A = this chain, B = another copy of it.
Amino acid sequence: MIYFDNAATTWPKPSEVKKAIASALDEYGANPGRGSYEMALKVSRLIFETRAELASLFNIKKPERIVFTANATESTNLALKGFLNPGDHVIFTSLEHNAIYRPLKALEKRGVKLTMVQAESDGTVHPEMIARAVRSETVLLAVSHVSNVTGTILPIEEFAQIVRLKNIKMLVDVAQSAGFLDIDVEKQGIDLLAFPGHKGLYGPTGIGGLYIGEGINLTPLKEGGTGSKSQSWEQPDTLPDRFESGTINTLGIAGLRAGVEFLKSKDVKNIREHEWNLTKRFLRGLTQIEQVVVYGPKTDVFRAPVVSFNIKNCDPGEVSFMLDKMFGIAARSGFHCAPLTHRTIGTEETGTIRFSFGNFNTIEEIDAGLDAIKEIVKELETGTCGELL
């Protein structure tokens, strides 16, 4: 199998991650912070160290301001629902994933006001468009760092410069950028950072996190046992306990630590160069195929390793089915949980085929992918899409 669905979940995982997970059940079998025996303390150290690794990766000064969640979607929900109150105004873009869009639409019903900034058809969002959307009651800008459909990179640092002046906080969903772009919450002015563990950080599914900037008080999404202030009915005020109710995913954290260590040992810069080379080669190859329409930034414009395209007059679902059955290529088709983006790029009726690359993909695989697409196009010239299998 050639795996081109790394924007959903990176695969395969580094051998270090597999090893860490396989041994985690033996090593870290206990609940942290709730027992004083040796294994429980060992788990507490694991969690502490993983927070520290993540803090250094994102240049976060206080590791305890990173709270673990089940995935980036829980992180965006916690950030949005924990921060926004009725009457508040929030700005987002037409590139947002449903992880931001759907909780915002739920909050709209409770009196939160929304303004969507429309991106251009290649995914570009000009900072002045953000500036124009600001109102006196605006308290938050919620944006993805990278579109999960087109790979377009948003100029979050410039956004931050605009909103900071008005005391507006910025939530950034780094689902597609963590592990590919440099992320520095200080330099980039990120107040709330939602990240998944299972994509570019090479951890397993089931673990993610939210960084909560200094001075931001969120209402918890969940209350419960925290192992601290155990004799009180009140959820503790201290971070990270306030937002980590119930038994934490120690297995996921052990895997995530190994993933972040892998990333640091490889260096994000090297991974970025490799993945951008793959992406560029793929994009250049696609432009040679007449029947293919590519979405997002122009071919040689730097983007994340996510490419959406279509074969003219052909349903993307059928193409991805053919890619799997005829060529053993795992790619994604459909709407990728981002309906607004499809309206933006003009594919709201059909969706797209999405190829997304990871550290373990090779040039040879890219070429095999291009050959497969050419083959499918050729076959389609003699038949009709979907009649070939």
Contact = CB atoms under 8 A, between A and B. Distances in A.
Most B C-beta atoms less than 10 A away, residue of A36, A103, A338: A36
A250 B228 CA distance: 29
Interface in A327-384: 329-340, 342, 348, 351
Protomer copies: 2
B223 A102 contact: yes
Contact of A206 (B206, B227, B342, B351): B206
Contacts of A251: 21, 204-206, 251-252, 255
A139 B5 CA distance: 45
A22 interface: yes
A366 to B, nearest CB: 17
B339 A231 contact: yes
Contact of A38 (B1, B26, B34, B70): B1
Interface stretch (A48-56, A152-160, A240-248): A240-248
A104 to B, nearest CB: 8
A189 interface: no
A86 to B, nearest CB: 13
B12 A31 contact: no
Contacts of A38: 1, 324, 330
Contacts of A208: 246
A278 to B, nearest CB: 19
A105 B196 CA distance: 30
A261 interface: no
A308 to B, nearest CB: 14
A332 B34 contact: yes
A220 B224 CA distance: 18
B17 A25 contact: yes
Interface string A26-37: 100111001111
A44 interface: no
Nearest to A349: B231
Contacts of A29: 3, 9, 11-13
Given A21-B251, A102-B245, A225 B339 contact: no
A223 B96 CA distance: 13
A376 B329 CA distance: 64
13 contacts: A1-B39, A17-B25, A21-B22, A35-B332, A36-B324, A37-B324, A71-B246, A71-B247, A98-B230, A99-B225, A205-B250, A206-B251, A224-B337
